[in-house]
Amino acid sequence: MNHDSYPDDYIRAILNGVKSIAMVGASPVNVRPSYFAFKYLAQRGYDMIPINPGHVGKSLLGKPFVASLADIGRPIDMVDIFRNSSHIMPVVEEALKLAPLPKVIWMQLGARDDAAAERAEAAGLKVVMNRCPKIEYGRLSSEISWMGVNSRTLSSKRAPVPTQGMRLSLNRTSVGGGETAASDRAAKNRNEPS
């Protein structure tokens, strides 16, 4: 998988396919990006599990914190990692010990570990790096268009009026990552030591 830019169909299949998401590094602090993403994904109907050993015994938006992936005690579809790049590998190693294996490893905006990605892909998992599932869901559904963001999708269909807690259709026509090629190129250049 080329991790510099993802085809919309790849992201769309992941977000349409997964139901349960364990968020490693979920924060109860309501100004942290992990809190935003957790809340949004829960509102869009995902079964969210907050993983953070420092908050066991407490809940995040009604979901009890779990200490580690191994402690979840039921199968999960996706591990969303809200940790710096240097802390990714141990989380991926832990995820690869789960039975059954999760289907997807997702690393948040700013996080990238190509070696960890290779390990996960070798075990048959899909990997997304340096992206936010909230932003991608908002983009493919065009909900993020309210913020003047280029969703890179088009649709001539009338969408239902969005209400709280509703799953939105992600199946709009993609304009393709090529339309923000400059941004993808810049990210790639940043990742390559000069």
Q: Which residues bind another protein (CB under 8 A)?
A: 7-9, 30-31, 33, 35-36, 39-40, 109-110, 132, 135, 138, 142-152, 154-162, 164, 173-183, 185-187, 190
The smaller minimum CB distance to another protein, of residues 115 and 181, is found at 181
Q: How far is the CB of 61 from another protein (least distance, A)?
A: 10
CB of 76 or CB of 85, closer to another protein? 85
Amino acid at 193: P
d(CA 6, CA 152): 13
Please say whether the beta carbons of 141 and 170 come within 8 A: yes
- Give me the least distance between CB of 99 and another protein, in Å please: 33
Q: Which residues pair with 48 in a beta bridge?
A: 21
- Amino acid at site 121: E
Tokens of 89: 């590998």
Q: Which is nearer to another protein, 59 or 145 (CB)?
A: 145
Minimum CB distance to another protein smaller for 85 or for 151: 151
Which of 35/46 has CB closer to another protein? 35
Q: Which is nearer to another protein, 96 or 137 (CB)?
A: 137
Least separation, in Å, of the C-beta of 84 and another protein? 11
For residue 184, the minimal CB distance to another protein (Å) is 8
Tell the burial category of 36 from Cβ atoms under 10 Å away from its Cβ (0-12, 13-18, 19+). middle
3-state class (DSSP) for residue 187: helix
Compute how many other C-beta atoms are within 10 angstroms of the C-beta atom of residue 97. 9
Measured distance CA(116)–CA(79) in Å, rounded: 13
C-alpha triplet 51, 57, 62: angle, nearest 5°: 70
CB of 98 to another protein, least distance (A): 28
Please, what is the minimum distance in Å from the beta carbon of residue 86 to another protein?
16
Dihedral pair phi/psi, residue 57, rounded to 5°: 100, -15
